[in-house]
Amino acid sequence: MTDIKKGLAGVVVDYTAVSKVNPETNSLLYRGYPVQELAATQPFEAVAYLLWNGELPTEVELARLRATERSYRVLPADVRAGIDLVPLDAHPMDEVRTALSLIGARDLAGSGSVLDASGSAAENLSRSIRLFSVLPAIVAYGQRRRRGQQPVAPRDDLDYAANFLWMTFGEEADPVVVDAFNRSMILYAEHSFNASTFTARVIASTLSDLYSAVVGAVGALKGPLHGGANEAVLHIFDEIGAAENVVPWLDAALAEKRKIMGFGHRVYKRGDSRVPTMKAALDTLVAHYDRPDVLALYETLESEFVSRKGIYPNLDYPSGPAYNLMGFDTLTFTPLFVAARIVGWTAHVIEQLGANALIRPLSEYNGPDERHIEGYVPDDAVL
């Protein structure tokens, strides 16, 4: 019997120097740095630089990246027109996927044959920075369009996180909110060979282009077993309503064998290393917005579910209510994940192309035995 690893669980498929997930010590390192240290001390732009280049930027390098980021913040008019073709009631992840595909088509127009598609490392780094820079405009435009609001132009005097919130809400965010948002972007930026990153690496391994890899990754991230879980957590919170409803709600949900979104992880079985940092950010938001009811629901559901099933929260559990408190629409949560994870995806595409091997696993056939079309006479039998 072939030993099939369903879902590739436990299979190590390649090396990576981008990040290290260690479920034993409950730690996550980006290029060697613990993610909680980065979240507490760095702006997201510096962490993006680290993930792409392997080292934190000097002041000059950070200033240069920030200048480039500012220069690509505006959504090109034709991409905006393309987004407008996406139905308003389509899922925003479909809108993001379409926008990134259009940006790729624009950028690669006239670039020749597929043989040149994968591009050099330098070209791919500058494409990565461009996507990282324009994604806030795509996400902010999407939320405003669904709310019937006009787009808001970026502000050159604001750094990435503050400008993202400005373009979404049209007002300057409180530093407490900017800090919590910046931390969430850092925590979401990278997580080794998760489903969407692996998708990006599979696509890159065929020597396709970086944009195609990223568009495929968006599709993988949309699912509720992956990035879609942060949105799903809020749907659950809305269903439960308040802390006192948790026990009857959970009794019914478990009796129906429902999966409780925001809990469980393929790699971490004793708690997700990113949760304490995001929970601390959620605590600051709860205090800032004076919403102890949110905390009560969060903590009651967590303790009830953990004590009954021994399954711990993942990053999507605290980030869902955090984004809700900040004012994002529930449907915007997974696009926010895209804006962060674009850094990890692109760092992995560049790494994959640096030591490429086509990713092409095998399968064990379990369909019907060989059979034949009645009356078919093979060509060589006619002669």
The yes or no reply on residue 229 touching ligand CMC (CB under 6 A) is yes
Nearest distance in Å: CB 274, ligand CMC: 9
Nearest distance in Å: CB 13, ligand CMC: 17
Task: State which of residues 145, 201, 226, 348 lies at the interface with ligand CMC (CB under 6 A).
Answer: 226
Which residue in 179, 209, 272, 316 is the catalytic one? 316
* CA pseudo-torsion sign 203, 190, 347, 157: positive
Task: State which of residues 57, 92, 119, 227 lies at the interface with ligand CMC (CB under 6 A).
Answer: 227
The yes or no reply on residue 320 touching ligand CMC (CB under 6 A) is no
Nearest distance in Å: CB 226, ligand CMC: 4
- Sequence-separated (6 or more) residues with CB below 8 Å from residue 283: 295
Long-range contacts for 174-179 (Cβ within 8 Å, ≥24 apart)?
174/288, 176/284, 176/285, 176/288, 177/285, 177/288, 177/326, 179/281, 179/284
Restricted to residues 259-278, the positions that interact with ligand CMC (CB under 6 A) are: 259-266
C-alpha–C-alpha distance, residues 145 and 362, integer Å:
44
The yes or no reply on residue 311 touching ligand CMC (CB under 6 A) is yes
Q: What residues pair up with 19 in beta bridges, in sequence order?
A: 30
Long-range contacts for 162-165 (Cβ within 8 Å, ≥24 apart)?
163/73, 163/136, 164/136, 164/139, 164/140, 164/339, 165/326
The yes or no reply on residue 231 touching ligand CMC (CB under 6 A) is no
The yes or no reply on residue 312 touching ligand CMC (CB under 6 A) is no
Phi/psi of residue 312, each to 5°? -95, 160
Q: Considering beta carbons, is residue 177 or 260 the nearer one to ligand CMC?
A: 260
Task: State which of residues 161, 315, 340, 347 lies at the interface with ligand CMC (CB under 6 A).
Answer: 315
Say if strands 33-34 and 27-30 run parallel, antiparallel, or are unpaired. antiparallel
Residue 346 exposed, middle or buried by CB count within 10 Å (0-12, 13-18, 19+):
buried
Which residue in 265, 272, 283, 288 is the catalytic one? 265
Q: Is residue 235 flagged as an active site residue?
A: no
The count of C-alpha atoms lying within 13 angstroms of the C-alpha of 252, restricted to the half-sphere facing its C-beta, is 7
Q: Considering beta carbons, is residue 79 or 189 the nearer one to ligand CMC?
A: 189
Q: Is residue 265 flagged as an active site residue?
A: yes
Which residue in 191, 226, 272, 348 is the catalytic one? 226
- How many residues of this chain bind ligand CMC (CB under 6 A)? 18
Q: For residues 257 and 306, is the Cβ–Cβ distance under 8 A?
A: no
Nearest distance in Å: CB 238, ligand CMC: 16
The yes or no reply on residue 246 touching ligand CMC (CB under 6 A) is no
Q: For residues 103 and 131, is the Cβ–Cβ distance under 8 A?
A: yes
The yes or no reply on residue 73 touching ligand CMC (CB under 6 A) is no
Q: Is residue 288 flagged as an active site residue?
A: no
**Structure tokens, 148:** 């019937």
Restricted to residues 142-201, the positions that interact with ligand CMC (CB under 6 A) are: 194
Q: Considering beta carbons, is residue 119 or 313 the nearer one to ligand CMC?
A: 313
**Among the listed residues 270, 304, 237, the one whose alpha carbon sits nearest the alpha carbon of residue 229:** 237
For ligand CMC, the binding residues (CB under 6 A) are 7, 194, 225-227, 229, 259-266, 311, 314-316
Catalytically active residues are 226, 265, 316
